[in-house]
Structure 1
């Protein structure tokens, strides 16, 4: 009976961690979407709201870490349980970094300001959609211990890298005819880099899932 109660208590606490992580991931995903909307609309007020809202995501990250550490300290966790807690902490860290990249995009939007854009913002949102699809897949695989989905998520990272390379070449191709737009071109290139990093962090979450389920650290 005592072992059952201990198991039930651990599972309940781990589920609480996962709920907090889900809330944090939702806020991070929304911040990324809003940052791209701010870019398209050149909405500087929205960009500032994204920057200000990062404090709440940081708070959730700290709460998850504190609860995870307390769970390790309180429970006589077996190796499998410890892996679950560690992966929860790692996943929280990756989501927090995704939110940081949303803030970086918002700051880049502020640096561009209201200057007329040198190109229509079409490909950057497409790249963002794929990166956020990867985030959704990686989190779904985490909550479902789905190794197949985790591997599919990681495989999409190559496509994001390809899109990133194409966008960088295109952006700097505008420079010879538009030397006055060097700041804007550079900031747009940074934005592409931040999106590419979001895909990388999503891949890291997927790799953590594979480690958790198979005990293997690479895909």
Structure 2
């Protein structure tokens, strides 16, 4: 096989790998948005559609993983090419986990449709929008190979953490004042935690893009999940 053909084949496989990651990212963002939309509309059927679609992300991850492993085994890529393939492997796993978190949110919707709406839940749509935007922007970084945008996306994790801390505090107070609403409030806490984890994975994705493009690590970022020390709000 001549070198020109080999290079062309490798470029085609890289393009295919990027396409698979792009498809996964689009689905992960949509799953996050649709799960929270089903929660807000109190639509259990729509939530179950989100759960059913999770298999699409899983299938794409498997395809991306097989392609990446094949490229490493058969093409013996070096330097930047190898770094991009390894990054794609890790990114596909992160996107699969985001899909799982969205599915977990959707699974709790049927229970919450049977309960009265809870005031502190108004924070969830803003938190979800912030997390979904991080996913979309992180994927834009990946497509455009934009290290500076990747850095900016990683910095936005603080916003999602702040939403989570605020919601945690509000729900804790709400449960103490309304003990008969503990069950739905607890489900909302789990939903908030899943959104917080989606933000974490979007941040990890951006950090992996930065590494893929520059060969450097962004470094540890401070986490501000201080829910272990949060007390209920006082009147």
The alignment's TM-score, normalised by the length of structure 2, stands at: 0.89
Kindly indicate whether the alpha-carbon contact (under 8 Å) linking 1:157 and 1:199 is maintained by their aligned counterparts in 2.
yes
Alignment of 1:124-135 (within 5 A): 124-135=124-135
Distance between the aligned counterparts of 2:176 and 2:78, measured in 1? 61
CA RMSD of aligned residues (A): 1.4
State the SS of the aligned residue for 2:99: helix
Q: Which residue does the alignment assign to 2:225?
A: none
Cα distance in 2 between the residues matched to 1:110 and 1:25:
26
Do 2:151 and 2:218's aligned partners in 1 also have CA atoms closer than 8 Å?
A: no
**What is the CA distance between 1:120 and its match in structure 2?**
6.5
- Are 1:215 and 2:215 matched, yes or no? yes
For 1:138-153, list aligned pairs within 5 A.
138-153=138-153
Ranges in structure 2 where 5+ consecutive residues have no aligned partner? 220-235
Residue 76 of structure 2 is matched in structure 1 by 76
> Is the counterpart of residue 110 in structure 1 residue 115 in structure 2?
no
Alpha-carbon separation, structure 2, partners of 1:176 and 1:81 = 55
**Runs of 4+ with >4 A deviation:** none
Matched residue SS, 1:211: helix
The answer to whether the Cα contact below 8 Å between 1:40 and 1:121 also exists between their aligned partners in 2 is no
Kindly provide the CA deviation profile for residues 159-214 of structure 1, in whole angstroms up to 9, marking residues without a partner as x: 11111101110111111221011111111011111111111101111111111122
Query: Contact 2:44/2:113 (CA < 8 Å) preserved in 1?
Result: yes
Specify the alignment match of 1:42 in structure 2.
42
Contact 1:34 1:50 in 2 (8 A): yes
TM-superposed CA distance for 1:131, in Å, is 0.9
For residues 104 and 194 of structure 2, what CA distance do their matches in structure 1 show? 7
Structure 1 equivalent of residue 227 of structure 2: none
Secondary structure of 1:174's aligned partner? helix
1:89-104 correspondence runs (5 A): 89-104=89-104
- Report the equivalent of 1:15: 15
Instruction: Name the structure 2 match of 1:25.
Output: 25
CA contact (8 A) 1:207 1:217 kept: yes
Post-superposition shift, 1:7? Answer: 1.8
Structure 1 residue runs without a partner (length 5+): none
Q: For 2:142 and 2:26, how far apart are their aligned partners in 1?
A: 14
Distance 1:120 1:199 in 2: 20
Q: Name the CA distance, whole Å, in 2 between partners of 1:217 and 1:84.
A: 14
Question: Aligned equivalents of 2:88 and 2:176: distance in 1?
Answer: 47
CA–CA separation in structure 2 for the residues paired with 1:76 and 1:155? 34
